[in-house]
Chains A and B, each alone.
Chain A
Amino acid sequence: MNRILEVRGLSRIYGPGCPHCVDATGPEADTNRCPHCGSIVAIHDVSFDLFEGEILGVMGESGSGKSTVVKTLYFDQAPTGGEAVFFDGDTQHELFALNAARQRWLRNHRFGMVYQNPNLGLNFNISAGGNIAERLLMSDLMDYGAIRERAKTLLARTEVLLSRVDDLPKHFSGGMQQRVQIAKALATQPPLLFLDEVTTGLDLSVQARILDLILEIQQELKTAMVVVTHDLGVIRLLTGRAIVMKYGRVIETGLTDQILEDPRHAYTQRLVASAL
């Protein structure tokens, strides 16, 4: 098995920052807000490896910084520190050393993102098929017929009724919107997918089918995924390994079942105890 992503010391501070920011925040300080300058230390010194075809869980409560991790890796936000290397076949990309055009290229061709809020991942004013077409057009597929066929295949794969390919996603149910988002993310068959609380707010039965779809995709396409969620059930069902975050720091990392059954950090013990 090969590494696909290597993240080292990833940090993101909102605000001016000061020399005390790091020491004055974190799980021990019980805050992510620097008392000296008011900056928010969203994440600090986050490191992990992701292997090909692996699903890694990033868990924690809101404010733990878990979403910031994937947003920086997907170039939605620039980190204030740290490095990430993406291993793509024989090529290595230093993610944060690339220029904007290269970053955009990777984002469009080699990464996929599914957001909790479909509004962020989809354009609600263009059809479901058009949303997928956009991603294909970004990767320079210029044949209308081919684009349309591929969009239909992807929507069929994610179980969206083909009769709705030309409908606007704003008229879709939440679960269906997530399916369109997943289809769009998969359009370019990326080896790396980020999922940010994708089932939060959906009905349980809808959640189950989305999770099932994600697992199927992972097994079929061998897509590596980083799954961000506060839901321990999602972590247990989807991921093999997980990292636990609190106030921007990784406080525990391990095999998912080990974290859930033998948590070592006091915070994880509380988190797991409260959920089970």
Chain B
Amino acid sequence: MTPPILQVEGYGKYFQLHEQNKLIPSAHDVSFTVRAGELTALIGPTGAGKSSVLKGIYRTYLPSAGRILYRDAMGHELDLARASEHQILDLRRREIGFVTQFLHCLPRQPTLDVVAQPLFGLGVARPEARQRAADLLSAMSLPERLWSVSPATFSGGERQRVNLARGFIARPRLLLLDEPTASLDPATAECVIRLIEGLKAEGTAMLAIFHHPETTRRLADQVVELAPPPAVEAMLKEIA
């Protein structure tokens, strides 16, 4: 078996809210691995910290505890929890993609450019990047008349497809998916599922949270169940 691309060991995230003078745990002692060409699904009740794990790996959250060992394309291993900001930015540009439920893009930017953005960042010529974006969008059956307008006015399903296309386009080695099919109609969801299967076949490692247990069953090679983190008092006792 090939060594895992990602190895999370004892990840924990606790927010310190100064205003309310509170410590809020969002994930506690999470461990699992993700391998190339496999999809690892995170399951668990609301508040178990599924999104927190994804954000911790992407470093949108600064992990409070644990190690996130990532093996990059060159075979070097580094701890994402401690990597420098520039290392993280570089990995985000080249290797690690994140598809959330939200789409942040420049106001009035045409959809085609929104999707092609990661390729622009990699220095792909604009016409070529746009062509690849167009191919991807038609594969996801987003009507062509929408390509030249901003996704800001799109329906939830349309916007989610744009978001996914942007996450897929640069072919990341590790893709983090946070409920990618949540707001899609069954036909589009099916199309996204097939895209994910395609990426898996190409060797992309994926860590995902799915809304429907059915999707998890279909796509996951490995399921990690998270339990809500214990309350702070309990944790403090544990430490004591």
The chain A residues found within 8 Å of chain B, CB to CB, are 1, 51, 54, 204-205, 207-209, 211-212, 215, 219, 236-237, 240-241, 254-255, 257-258, 261-262, 264-266, 269-270, 273
Considering the chains assembled together, what is the distance between the CA atoms of A72 and B106 in angstroms? 30
Task: Please tell me if the beta carbons of A254 and B104 are within 8 angstroms of each other in the complex.
Answer: no
Asked if B138 CB lies within 8 Å of chain A CBs, one says no
Question: Would A269 and B59 be within 8 Å (CB), given that A1-B90, A208-B106, A208-B108 are in contact?
Answer: no
Interface extent on B, as a size class? 20 to 34
- Which applies to chain A's interface (DSSP): helix, strand, loop or mixed? helix
Chain B proximity of A200: nearest CB distance (Å): 16
Which of chain A's residues have a CB closer than 8 A to the CB of B47? none
Closest A residue to B58 by CB, please name it.
Answer: A257
Considering the chains assembled together, what is the distance between the CA atoms of A51 and B86 in angstroms? 8
9-residue interface stretch from B15-23, B65-73, B204-212, B218-226:
B15-23
Question: Would A258 and B62 be within 8 Å (CB), given that A1-B86, A269-B19 are in contact?
Answer: yes
Considering the chains assembled together, what is the distance between the CA atoms of A236 and B123 in angstroms? 21
Task: Please tell me if the beta carbons of B62 and A237 are within 8 angstroms of each other in the complex.
Answer: no
Task: Please tell me if the beta carbons of A208 and B107 are within 8 angstroms of each other in the complex.
Answer: yes
Which of chain B's residues have a CB closer than 8 A to the CB of A1? 86, 90
Task: Please tell me if the beta carbons of A261 and B60 are within 8 angstroms of each other in the complex.
Answer: yes
Task: Please tell me if the beta carbons of B55 and A261 are within 8 angstroms of each other in the complex.
Answer: yes
Total A-B contacts with CB atoms under 8 angstroms apart: 61
Task: Please tell me if the beta carbons of B19 and A255 are within 8 angstroms of each other in the complex.
Answer: no
Which of chain A's residues have a CB closer than 8 A to the CB of B107? 204-205, 207-208, 211
Which of chain A's residues have a CB closer than 8 A to the CB of B104? 236-237
Considering the chains assembled together, what is the distance between the CA atoms of A215 and B107 in angstroms? 12
Task: Please tell me if the beta carbons of A215 and B106 are within 8 angstroms of each other in the complex.
Answer: yes
Question: Could you list some 19 contacts between A and B, CB below 8 A?
Answer: A205-B108, A207-B107, A208-B108, A208-B109, A212-B108, A215-B106, A237-B104, A237-B106, A240-B89, A241-B85, A255-B89, A258-B61, A258-B62, A261-B55, A262-B55, A262-B60, A264-B62, A266-B18, A266-B19
Considering the chains assembled together, what is the distance between the CA atoms of A215 and B108 in angstroms? 13
Task: Please tell me if the beta carbons of B108 and A269 are within 8 angstroms of each other in the complex.
Answer: no
Chain A proximity of B109: nearest CB distance (Å): 6
Closest B residue to A219 by CB, please name it.
Answer: B120
Task: Please tell me if the beta carbons of B88 and A255 are within 8 angstroms of each other in the complex.
Answer: yes
